[in-house]
Structure 1
Amino acid sequence: MDMPRNAFKAALKEGRRQIGLWVASNSPDNAEMLATCGYDWLLFDLEHTTSSTADAAALMRAVAPYPGSAIVRPAWNDTVDIKRLLDAGAQTLLVPYVQNAEEARAAVRAVRYPPEGVRGVAGFTRASRFGTVPDYAARASEEICLLVQVETATAVENIEEIAAVDGVDGIFVGPADLAASLGHPGAPSHPDMRKATLDAIARIVATGTPAGILTLDEGVLEAAAEAGALFVAVDVDAAILRRGAAARREAWR
């Protein structure tokens, strides 16, 4: 059986912008419904939700028949969690809270088999289509895409050294945590934050590394896209649901 192709990784290499949606729900039905909406990628979040590795596997299965790519955010830059998500079939990971080059290298080691990394080898997993992909261990890194998040003042200072780490396929700016780090907790749309966010995007782009972002501030989103952000999350499933439900109630109040 063939190695599953990572369309998202291929698109970033080709410089094609990928529009995504952040998914907090752990419902496979909701995930499959969202997969019919035409987004290039859906991110399943395990950091700020109650979702587990088993949930992530179910979500990836739900969207597998559709063209959009699944991205999973582990709860932390943790070798064991990353190993389990890879074995469950994740091909693109967004690793949170990467502060410097050494932490980026740790993430790279976690997604690669020895001798380049420390990923444990298992023969019969969803990743290898249960042992049917020839030479999976030797070829897995071809289709695995590693994205890292810079979301503190320290991380932003280290953008260039993080981008220089071999195996980092993209850098994502997290405005919410960055706002807190810069003294504006809960205010990612503060004017100082807009400048800091767009400066970070521009510096990532200048290194030749694909840049990404999630923000519900339409102005910042558009400016980030104009600055060259390649993987852009334009909304969050929970926010869409709440806005729609509240608007419908207001219409009938």
Structure 2
Amino acid sequence: MDLPKNTFKAALKAGRRQIGLWNTIPDSGIVEMLAGCGYDWLVLDTEHTPIDAERLMPSLQACAPYPVHACVRPGWNDATEIKKLMDIGAQTLIVPYVQSAEEAAAAVAATHYPPHGMRGVGGTHRGSRWGTIPDYVTRAHEETCTIVQVETRAALDALDDILKVERLDGVFIGPADLSASLGHPGDPGHHEVRSAILDATRKIRAAGLAPGILGSDDAFLTEAEAAGALFIAIGVDTVILRGAVAQRRADWP
């Protein structure tokens, strides 16, 4: 058994745009359905959902037969939680609410075995295909993708230092938290927020890392792509579902 290739990491390194979708519905059947919809990547979100590591593993298994990469967002920048997520097979982690270079370095350390980090060696688990991948501990970093979320004014102020962290692969700009931090809660479309996102995106790309964004405003997502965004999430499953269901009801007054 060889080390599974991280197609998402390879695409970002090659500068190929990746279109994604946010999954918040805690059901592996839903995830399997989404996995077959043609997206390049899905975020399996454990930060703002009731999903934990035990409930996440069936969703990772549901994605496995499809040509889509499953990124996982932990609930926090916590080494113990990240260790569990990687042991069940997550290769790409999008770590929320990182506000400094030190916190970004901690996220990288949590996703890498020594000597590159401090991920605990657990022996046989799904990530190592139950111990059948030769030299997994020494090679796992090859296919590990570590992304941090920059979503506050403090994080933007620290961005130059964050971008210098070794083995960091990308930075995701969180529009919702950022808008709140900038004094515009609930208004991620505010011109100050949009400008901050575009400026940060250009800076991230210029530093040789992959910038990411989530949104439903196609015009702004197009601007973000022009600014250099490489991984672009174009919707959230619950928002799309509710919108379609509500519209269908409105079609039959």
TM-score in same-fold range (> 0.5):
yes
Between the aligned residues of both structures, percent identity stands at 56
Q: C-alpha separation between the residues in 1 aligned to 2:191 and 2:117?
A: 41
Q: Deviations over 1:183-220 (max 9, x none)?
A: 00111011221111111111111211110000122222
Mapping of 1:1-253 within 5 angstroms?
1-253=1-253
Q: C-alpha separation between the residues in 2 aligned to 1:128 and 1:98?
A: 28
Point out where structure 2 has 5 or more consecutive residues left out of the alignment: none
> SS in structure 1 opposite 2:146?
strand
- TM-score, normalised via structure 1 length: 0.98
Q: C-alpha separation between the residues in 2 aligned to 1:13 and 1:194?
A: 25
Q: C-alpha separation between the residues in 2 aligned to 1:10 and 1:205?
A: 16
Number of residue-to-residue matches in the alignment: 253
Q: Deviations over 1:31-69 (max 9, x none)?
A: 000111100000000001111111211110001000000
Superposed displacement of residue 161, structure 1: 1.1
Superposed displacement of residue 90, structure 1: 0.1
Superposed displacement of residue 6, structure 1: 0.4
Point out where structure 1 has 5 or more consecutive residues left out of the alignment: none
> SS in structure 1 opposite 2:128?
coil
Q: C-alpha separation between the residues in 1 aligned to 2:183 and 2:37?
A: 37
Q: C-alpha separation between the residues in 2 aligned to 1:40 and 1:78?
A: 27
> SS in structure 2 opposite 1:127?
helix
Q: C-alpha separation between the residues in 2 aligned to 1:225 and 1:171?
A: 14
Q: C-alpha separation between the residues in 1 aligned to 2:41 and 2:72?
A: 10
Amino acid at match of 1:52: D
Superposed displacement of residue 74, structure 1: 0.0
Q: C-alpha separation between the residues in 2 aligned to 1:77 and 1:173?
A: 16
Q: C-alpha separation between the residues in 1 aligned to 2:208 and 2:118?
A: 27
What RMSD in Å do the two structures reach over aligned CA positions? Answer: 0.8
Q: C-alpha separation between the residues in 2 aligned to 1:212 and 1:196?
A: 13
Q: C-alpha separation between the residues in 1 aligned to 2:96 and 2:58?
A: 22
Superposed displacement of residue 77, structure 1: 0.3
Q: C-alpha separation between the residues in 1 aligned to 2:6 and 2:218?
A: 29
